[in-house]
Amino acid sequence: MGNLKSIAVNGRSYEVCGKLGSGGFSEVYLVEDRRSKLKMALKVMVCQEDEQIQRALMEVQLHRRIDHPNVLRLLGSEIRLKAHNPRNEVEYSTTRSKEVLLLFPALTRGSLQDILNHSSLHKEPALSEIDCLQLFQGIVSGVREIHRLGLAHRDIKPANILLSDEFTPIVMDLGSVAPLNMMIQTHQDSMEMIEEAAQFSSAAYRAPELYDDCFRGQLSAA
C-alpha cells in the first residue's frame, strides 16, 4: 500500500496511525475516524484473482451473519476497484484489481499469541488456571456459533484469538472458513483436502487427517 496516510471507507475519512500486521493478500492498519476520533482496525485485501475476490466477499458476508461476543464484529466494509490516485492520499496500483476494506474494533491488547510470546520472553507464567478456563469457554462459545452456521473455522490458533480490555477472547480471521461437513471419497478428494488445508490452516494446529492422503470418510468439526 506504500506510504498510506489516510483512507476513506464509505465516504468517511480515517487517518492511518500505523500497521498492525499482514498476511496472504491482506494488510491490517490501526486507523482513527477523523470525526469521532474512535480508533479501529482496518483490514485491506487486494484481490487480483476471481478466487481471492470470492473468498473476500464470503468473509464479509459471514461477518454480517454473525453477532456474537466471542467473534470479531464487523463495523463497516467497502468493495471497490483500485485506481491510481494522483493526490497521493493512498498509493494505488494501475491494475483493475478489487480492494476489499473491512473495519473492526481496535483491540489493542493484542492476541493470545502475544501473551504467550511475552511470557516466554520474560520467563514468567502467562495465564492462571482460571484465566485458561475462562479463555477456553469463550473460544468454544465463538467457535460453536460458527459451527451453528454450518461452517468450520479451520485455523483456530492463539494468533487468531484477540483479547478485549476485559480479557474476553474474540475469534478473528474468518477468511479460512469452509463447510462444516465434507465427504472424502476418492484419492483426488483427499489431495484437494490436503492442498486446501495447507493454504488455509496453520501446520502446527492442523488435524492429523488433513495430512493423510489415504483418509476416506466425512470430515467434521467433531
What's the pLDDT tens digit per position in 38-59?
A: 999 999 999 888 888 888 999 9
The reply to whether 5 sits in an annotated binding site is no
CB 126 within 8 A of CB 115: yes
Angstrom distance (rounded) from CA 114 to CA 108 = 11
CA distances from 111 to 50, 58, 82, 173 (A): 31, 24, 31, 12
The C-alpha cell at 191 is: 489431495
Same fold, 6-105 and 112-219: no
Q: What is the pLDDT of residue 3?
A: 65
Q: Which of the two residues, 24 and 147, has the higher pLDDT score?
A: 147
Q: Which residues are catalytic?
A: 155
Per-residue pLDDT, averaged over 205-219, amounts to 79
Confidence of residue 139 (pLDDT cuts 50, 70, 90): very high
Instruction: Say which amino acid occupies 127.
Output: L
Angle (CA) 158-191-214 rounded to 5° is 95
May I ask the CATH architecture of the domain 6-105? 2-Layer Sandwich (3.30)
Backbone phi, psi, residue 195, to 5°: -65, -45
Angstrom distance (rounded) from CA 99 to CA 65 = 21
pLDDT at 105 over 80: yes
Taken in order 70, 76, 79, 85, the sign of the CA dihedral is negative
Global confidence as pTM = 0.83
Q: Name the percent of the chain in helix, strand, coil, to the closest 5.
A: 35, 30, 35
CA distances from 198 to 12, 23, 204 (A): 38, 15, 11
Angstrom distance (rounded) from CA 111 to CA 170 = 9
Domain ranges of the chain: 6-105, 112-219
pLDDT at 91 over 70: no
- CATH class assigned to 112-219: mainly alpha
